[in-house]
């Protein structure tokens, strides 16, 4: 399950990177509907990734916003970038050594 979670996390990062730079170059440009569809699918995948619950909630909110109507491509790019940064911060935090506390001693 952990290996599957790592593969999903890697895929999520790849897609978020693409969405955060959508239409910044001419080789990759998704429509609003395509970005919204990606965001809805990523919401489902997010439940299968081992991630801090607070980070998961933040990314979920960002993905829901990305999937809503009426946003410009730049706004959707910004939301994808924020979700990617939250995911990367969680990776850094979860890979760092834990400081013993009374709860996890």
Q: With respect to residue 84, please indicate whether it lies within any of the assigned structural domains.
A: yes
pLDDT tens column, 11-51? 999 999 999 999 987 677 999 999 999 999 999 989 888 88
Q: With respect to residue 15, please indicate whether it lies within any of the assigned structural domains.
A: yes
SS (H, E, C) 18-60: HHHCCCCCCCCCCCHHHHHHHHHHHHHHHCCCCCCHHHHHHHH
Q: With respect to residue 38, please indicate whether it lies within any of the assigned structural domains.
A: yes
pLDDT at 98: 47
Q: With respect to residue 82, please indicate whether it lies within any of the assigned structural domains.
A: yes
Q: Which domain holds residue 70?
A: 2-88
Per-residue confidence band for 103, with pLDDT thresholds at 50, 70 and 90: low
pTM of the model: 0.81
Q: CB neighbours (10 Å) of residue 4?
A: 11
Q: With respect to residue 77, please indicate whether it lies within any of the assigned structural domains.
A: yes
Q: What is the CA radius of gyration of the chain?
A: 15
Q: With respect to residue 104, please indicate whether it lies within any of the assigned structural domains.
A: no
| In contact, 84 and 59? CB cutoff 8 Å | no
Q: What angle do CA 13, 14, 16 make, to 5 degrees?
A: 65
Q: With respect to residue 96, please indicate whether it lies within any of the assigned structural domains.
A: no
3 token code pair = 């290996």
Q: With respect to residue 98, please indicate whether it lies within any of the assigned structural domains.
A: no
Instruction: Give the chain's domain count.
Output: 1
pLDDT at 27: 76
pLDDT tens column, 53-102? 999 999 999 999 999 999 999 999 999 999 999 999 988 766 544 455 55
pLDDT at 95: 58
Rounded Cα–Cα distance for residues 34 and 68 (Å): 12
52 token code pair = 């801090």
């Amino acid at each position: 399950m952990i290996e599957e979670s790592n593969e999903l996390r890697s895929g999520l990062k790849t897609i978020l990177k693409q969405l955060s730079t959508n239409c910044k170059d001419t080789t990759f440009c998704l429509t609003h509907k395509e970005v919204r569809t990606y965001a809805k699918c990523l919401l489902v995948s997010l439940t299968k990734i081992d991630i801090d619950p607070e980070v998961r909630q933040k990314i979920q909110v960002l993905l829901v916003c990305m999937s809503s109507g009426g946003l410009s491509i730049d706004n959707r790019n910004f939301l994808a970038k924020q979700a990617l940064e939250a995911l990367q911060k969680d990776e850094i935090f979860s890979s760092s050594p834990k400081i013993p506390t009374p709860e996890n001693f």
